[in-house]
Amino acid sequence: MVFGGSLPGLRARVQRWLRCSSSSLRRLGRHWRQRPGDAFTHAYAISVSHRAPLLYLVVIFNTSLISLRFLGTAPLVLIAFAPAMAILAGFRALYWRPSRVARRPVDLLRQDLQAMGRLGGWAALLIVAWSLALYPYGDVSQRALIHFVMAVTMFSAILGMAYSPQTALRLAMAFTLPWSLFLLVTGQPNAVFITLVQLFVTGILLAMTHAQHRDFVRLELSRQLLVRREEQTAELASAHYRQATVDHLTGGKNRRAILACLEEHLDGPEGAARPWLALFDLDGFKHINDTYGHAAGDHVLRTVSMRIGLARGVTAHGRLGGDEFAILFDADFDTDAVLAAARTLSSEIREPISHNGATLRLCGSMGLHRVQGPSVSTCLERADAALYKAKELGDGAIVPFGPNDEIELQRRIAVTRQFNDCALQDRLRLLYQPIFDYRTMRVVGMEALARWSPDGIEWQTPGEFLPVADATGRTGELTRLVLARALAECRPRETGLEVSINLAARDVVREGLAETIAAIVAEAGEDPSSVVLEVTERSLQLDPKRAAAQLHAFRAIGFRIALDDFGAGWSSLSQLRDLPFDRIKLDRVLAGALSTDPGARAVTGMIVALAWQLGIGCSIEGVETEPQAVAARALGVHLMQGYYFGRPEAAETALSAYKRFVA
């Protein structure tokens, strides 16, 4: 029972020991194998290339030394082995030169390492066999030389192949085993001791080789990790550079990059020719976005950017934002040459652009300025001033910045600073022009006309200072101030007059304005129906959807809405049907032609008839003579403004005139 019970347990322990031993041998074998991968293959080959030629030199020297020592003692056939081995080793040394190895592809290096592992052991056996063949022909000193030389060769081979551990192992076995067996068989007096020394030293060398290979692998892994991190860092830096300098939509330079390029030119040598800066803005781009979608707009921007880049004389370009581009033209161009290049570019951009079966057409305005001045912002200001004039001209105009523009720019900069820094309530006054009802021959309202002065002496009209107010972001403040002061000075509840104020273009689309001015009217104790808000057609073009929503919000509160300057612009009749207008205010151009131009009378009559059918009232401004007033009245217009009825006056004077009419 005891033996029957203990035998299976012993068998199980033996099996576990064998499995553990087998696993340990496999792990040990893995440690002796070279690591796979192209990077390791290249590293192994480079390492071997710095050692193999020296090892072959040891083989050449040692075999030559032995052959010379046995010359005249051993047969010539054995002596001739040394030159043959030296020639072969020389060829192999040349083959493994580092400069040649570095140029080889990885696949060939892998084959070379495998060949060295196979051929190294056979070459070692061949050398050992040769030395053993010489051994019987030598005396004691010659045999001692063979022992010494073979030991040195073996040690050199093992250490030389430290980074090719399998080759080192094969070399150790090829040298040690045959020699040890030979010594033991021949009965050499010190055979046992020599064999023990060989085995012990070989084991130590192999352990050192294993340790060196392990350190080599760790170092190479660290190097590969460092290389990967450097590549990742380079990729990240490249991505950050692209993000910082490349426009994600067009693939060209972005705002930062093109302005940096402009700054490089400004920082160039004194007296060097400076390029031309052009600011290019697409006309009609918003229409393409609204009609065909943003995908079409993006396609247009990419196409335009590509056409700019291919244009003659363009040295750099980039998108500043939206549909605006900055372009640098060749510094060698004079004014005529740059204008010619700009016209050519403008013509190329006018070429149709195809997108999803649709043909898109648009043009662009361009402002030009020869780069000069202390800063990039200075150049941009001047090019932008030229662009502003070009956009006013329309139809893709091209305007260079000239001396007169510099004078105007400096004046506008000064005015802008004054407007931005001033307290509006101290620099603003209101004049009032009466609105006359020609049927009753009475004044029914006052239009508030703002005047602003930078110095309290010279007063500017809205046409002069409103662009400055818009640029400084103070149109909302201006509107609130004008409304509050007009209500305080005209007192609609007391006088029975309506008060008309003009809304800036940005006010029409500003969120929350309806509630803001409603609060001002309520604070003044007036009724919103006594206030007429005049808007222009241009203000409706900025953002038609938001403008429509804002007008409906005004109407819901109780304000009345008038469309100002009707007939001066493109005058879309669909607006009269879709938007909540109470009144159409005919432009002064029509008023000036009513008494003399049948065409103007026909147009005016058509507008009045259309307004009457839509339930919208009509008024006309700019009436300066009695024939004009009579003609307007004959066409059905009875609300009139103009110098014929009264010039803009201060509140006290305007209200005195009103009282005279009432009396």
Catalytic annotation, residues: 621
Q: Cβ distance 595 to 631 under 8 Å? A: yes
138 backbone dihedrals φ, ψ, rounded to 5°: -105, 160
Question: For residue 7, what are its two tokens?
Answer: 């035998």
8 Å CB contact between 595 and 565:
no
CA–CA separation, 213 vs 207, rounded Å? 10
Number of alpha carbons in the 13 Å side-chain half-sphere of residue 322: 10
With 0-12 CB in 10 A as exposed, 13-18 as middle and 19+ as buried, what is 178? Answer: middle
Long-range contacts of 640-644 (CB under 8 A, 24+ apart): 640/435, 640/436, 640/438, 641/433, 641/434, 641/435, 641/436, 641/447, 642/588, 642/591
Question: What's the rounded Cα separation, in Å, for the pair 271 and 269?
Answer: 6
Structure tokens at 280: 């290019």
DSSP 222-275: HHHHHHHHHHHHHHHHHHHHHHHHB-TTTSSB-HHHHHHHHHHHHTS-TTPPPP
Half-sphere exposure of 453 (CA within 13 A, CB side): 10
Query: Which one, of 653, 611, 618, lies nearest residue 633 by Cα?
Result: 618
Residues facing 333 on adjacent strands: none
CA distance 5 to 309: 92
- The β-bridge partners of 328 are 277, 316
Helix (H, G, I), strand (E, B) or coil at 502: strand
